Amino acid sequence: LVFGLLYFIRTVEGIHNTEENSAFHNFKLIRINPETENSVKYLRSLYEDPSPYELDFWQPPTHIGAIVDLTVAPSDAPQFVKDLESKNINYIVAVNDLSKAIENERGSDAFYNPVAGFAYDKYNSLDEIHSEMKRLKKEYPKMITLIDIGQSHENRTLLVMKITGKRNPLGSKISMWIDGGIHAREWISPATAMYIAHELILGYDNDATVAKLMDHIDFYILPVMNPDGYEYSREKNRMWRKNRSPAKCHRSTFSTVCCAGVDLNRNFDWFWASTGSSSDPCHDTYHGSSAFSEPESQAVRDFLEQHTPEAFISLHSYSQMWLIPYGHRKQSYPQDYHTGLRPLALRATKALYELYGTKYQVGTGADLMYEASGGSHDWAKGQLKVPYAYLIELRPKNTMMGHGFLLPEREIVPTGLETFESIKVVADELVAQF
């Protein structure tokens, strides 16, 4: 019976998911600009309810005028597009064959770095990232400590790099936390976390401002918070978002479907399982069976409760937004939103802008996009009382440039450099204030 049940679960999961054949041949990336309330409503129903089409929302529908990005499977594309047309919803096919865009992200780019092993201008595997962290630790033993803060579902190490200056003028130090890769497919995020670490480490002996920051602040950087999902997005399904917690089943009127993975950025204890998250394990925003049900979010919680920082920054992509708590509800702000969090965010994004002219929007995720509960930055601010907690949605702005999650490797270094400019502004404020 047990084996029969397992077989059944595997089969249903196999039918439901396209994970095993996810090369994305002829999948379309579609860009929609909903111009009426009815269009928004229709798109929302496709996003929230079980949909007749195989769709993957890269940018969920929120309000009139807010761009919606989604991919559609080739078999569903003709009917889906007909549907849009019958409803007078304007769309653009931004990418006609997603598998080609996925290839272009790495392989055939002119700036592609073919060197095996870790490099700062390519998307690296988890092993490559961990070996680079170990190499840095060897080269700069006084500056770097590696801390194993826990294991993922599949027993990969959650490895934090503590970066600190050699001098310690005040005796006691303040700290800043930066995590990347909470969402698997947002590859620019771990790459940027590593770039920031690299800039700090190399800056210590070459840049007096960086040295000063490091003499006051301990930086804790977790480049890949969701290592199982990250590897899964590299090896099996480029568009995977969640972690890889074992499949859970969801009974609907017609069938039972089982799916793996929890959205770690819906799994933190901040209005958990309320707005903008799903109780359906097959949904991309599945919030898990309880707050902190996942080993990855537990490990981060446990570590941060012991080492509560003065600033918390979580790196995501995409849309070039610097998000401030709270994101679980519209027009919900911490008491120091207007006096502390927002002014600093504006200064940070201004410094970022000044390097290459990359524009960021500043505000809460709920106000700028959609409500979403259980987010780590909201939890950091609301529960942990971290003074400056932010979520950064890195490059690109949209799917017309950089194809959303598929940001070309040649943009890794510029993204790292401009983001580092903004990190320095936050760090500088910590030094001034604490």
- Interface with ligand ARG by CB under 6 A: which residues? 265, 316, 323, 327, 365-366, 369-372, 375, 391
213 vs 291, beta carbon nearer ligand ARG: 291
* Tokens (6 digits) for 143: 């500056």
Cβ–Cβ < 8 Å for 368, 321? yes
Rounded to 10 degrees, the C-alpha dihedral 252/257/261/267 comes to 10
Cβ–Cβ < 8 Å for 196, 205? no
The residue type of 364 is T
**Applying CB under 5 A, does 395 fall inside the site for Zn ion?**
no
Quote the DSSP letter at residue 405. Answer: T
Q: Which one is catalytic: 393, 411, 418, 421?
A: 393
Smallest distance, Å, CB 180 to Zn ion? 10
Convert 26-58 to b/e letters by CB count within 10 Å (16 or more is b): ebbbbbbebeeeebbebbbebbbeeeeebbbbb
* Tokens (6 digits) for 106: 């790495």
Can 19 be counted among the known catalytic residues?
no
**Applying CB under 5 A, does 377 fall inside the site for Zn ion?**
no
Residue closest to 264 by CA, chosen among 312, 224, 296 = 296
List 185, 316, 395, 403, residue binding Zn ion (CB under 5 A): 316
Cross-strand partners of 68: 32
Smallest distance, Å, CB 349 to ligand ARG? 16
* Tokens (6 digits) for 368: 């700028």
User: CA-to-CA distance for 176 and 186, rounded, in angstroms?
Assistant: 22
31 vs 316, beta carbon nearer Zn ion: 316
Assign 58 to helix, strand or coil.
strand
- The stretch near Zn ion (CB under 5 A) out of 149-157, 289-297, 312-320, 395-403 is 312-320
Sign of the CA dihedral running 207, 211, 212, 218 = positive
User: Closest residue to ligand ARG, Cβ-based?
Assistant: 365
Smallest distance, Å, CB 347 to ligand ARG? 21
Partner in contact with 222, chosen from Zn ion, ligand ARG, none, beta carbon below 5 to 8 Å by kind: none
User: CA-to-CA distance for 295 and 400, rounded, in angstroms?
Assistant: 36
Smallest distance, Å, CB 183 to Zn ion? 4
**Applying CB under 5 A, does 130 fall inside the site for Zn ion?**
no
Partner in contact with 163, chosen from Zn ion, ligand ARG, none, beta carbon below 5 to 8 Å by kind: none
- Tell me the chain's radius of gyration from C-alpha atoms: 21
Q: What is the full DSSP assignment across 391-432? A: EEEES-SSSTTTTTT---GGGHHHHHHHHHHHHHHHHHHHHH
Partner in contact with 323, chosen from ligand ARG, Zn ion, none, beta carbon below 5 to 8 Å by kind: ligand ARG
Partner in contact with 370, chosen from Zn ion, ligand ARG, none, beta carbon below 5 to 8 Å by kind: ligand ARG
Residue closest to 229 by CA, chosen among 283, 311, 139, 296 = 296
Partner in contact with 375, chosen from Zn ion, ligand ARG, none, beta carbon below 5 to 8 Å by kind: ligand ARG
Partner in contact with 388, chosen from Zn ion, ligand ARG, none, beta carbon below 5 to 8 Å by kind: none
Cβ–Cβ < 8 Å for 148, 158? yes
Cβ–Cβ < 8 Å for 226, 264? yes
User: CA-to-CA distance for 276 and 329, rounded, in angstroms?
Assistant: 9
* Tokens (6 digits) for 27: 């999948």
User: CA-to-CA distance for 310 and 210, rounded, in angstroms?
Assistant: 18
Smallest distance, Å, CB 186 to Zn ion? 5
User: CA-to-CA distance for 291 and 271, rounded, in angstroms?
Assistant: 9
Q: Which of residues 153-192 bind Zn ion (CB under 5 A)?
A: 183
The residue type of 212 is K
Residues with catalytic roles: 393
Q: Which residue ranges make up the site for Zn ion (CB under 5 A)?
A: 183, 316
